[in-house]
Amino acid sequence: MDVVNQSELVVNAFLQALGGGLQSIMSVITELGGQIFYILFMPVIYWCVDAWAGLRIGVMLLSSAAFNGFFKVLLKGPRPYWISDKIVPGAHESSFGIPSGHTMNSTAVWGWSAIESKNRKAALAASAMVLLIAVSRLILGVHFLSDVLLGLLLGVLLLIAFSKLQKPIGAWLKKQSLKNLLLLAFFSSLFIIGLPAMVIALSSGWQMPADWAARAGEVDPLSLEGALTTGGLWFGMLGGFAWLRARRGVIQSNFGTWQRIARYLVGIVGVIALYAGLGSLFPDELGLISAVLRYFRYFLIGIWIACLAPLLFEKMKIGQIEPEIEPRSSAPLI
């Protein structure tokens, strides 16, 4: 691995030599594949465009994040600036490098968004977005070319698997009771956390090489924070959607014109309050208690997006929830 990584440094060095202005642009572009952007992006589809499409895109994102986190702790690859003083990091990352999470997640999210849109131009735009985000990770010196290529491959494989499995799995889920759906959402969220936790437990004797640690800064690559985030969002989003659909129905995302803007503004205030507010209140240094609180924080964000916000929209008369027996097939987003 070290030999391969050392040989790949020439790619990062060449791209960084193109100038600091390019790095500044890429620092903006790379945020389009980051956690905060997705937390802002997912709700607008679900609340204001198409609820079922938003749900599927959310499942794609969280599935990608879960698999990516597992492979990171399994492969334990460094980042370029961890092994070379010649690479200037354009961002600070505390996790392992391979595979690239930004590349994998953007492939899954933007790729599935293009499939939902059923639009050739949207597909081209999504491909360009994935390419730009992937290149940004190289220019910023936070990923090797092999990290990006593996992230791209895994993202494509996830797209293929999801396109093959969504209908049969959806048909099976439709037959399940609400209790079973909630239990399934909860225990699958524990699986998302448990899989990397098992790898981390088996890696108890692993230590970061001294030369990595000297350059990496403050990092914790064997942390479970990412898995707790993904697991909490997964349970909140899927459990909240299942409860709302069984008890009341599905939010009518195409309701109104100005009401769509109002829904997004009201809803996103709740997301920010939970994300930033609880993030500042919950302690980070209390071991298991902090882990439980992190899971709970993101569970609340997920259930707010999927269930509580739609109920508030209806109360405020800026949204409608209607029973929907059969989920729609992939509907064009544009």
Average pLDDT score over the chain = 89
**Backbone phi and psi for residue 254, each to the nearest 5 degrees, phi listed first:** -90, 10
Average pLDDT for residues 135-153, to the nearest whole number?
93
Between CA 69 and CA 208 the distance in angstroms is 18
Instruction: Say whether the peptide bond before residue 168 is cis (omega within 30 degrees of 0).
Output: no
> What DSSP line would sit under 219-245, residue for residue?
--TT-SHHHHHHHHHHHHHHHHHHHHH
**What tens digit of pLDDT does each residue of 31-90 get?**
888 888 888 888 999 999 999 999 999 999 999 999 999 999 999 999 999 998 888 888
Q: What is the pLDDT confidence band of residue 325, given thresholds at 50, 70 and 90? A: low
pTM for the model stands at 0.89
Report the pLDDT value the prediction gives residue 182, as an integer from 0 to 100: 96
Whether 17 shows a pLDDT value over 90: the answer reads no
Q: Which residues sit opposite 277 in a β-bridge?
A: none
Percent of the chain with pLDDT over 70: 96
Q: What number of CA atoms fall less than 13 Å from residue 329's CA on the CB side?
A: 4
Q: Alpha carbon of 207 to those of 76, 199, 221, 224, 334: distances in Å?
A: 11, 14, 10, 16, 49
Q: What is the pLDDT confidence band of residue 248, given thresholds at 50, 70 and 90? A: very high
Average pLDDT for residues 300-309, to the nearest whole number?
95
Q: Do the beta carbons of residue 120 and residue 11 sit within 8 Å? A: no
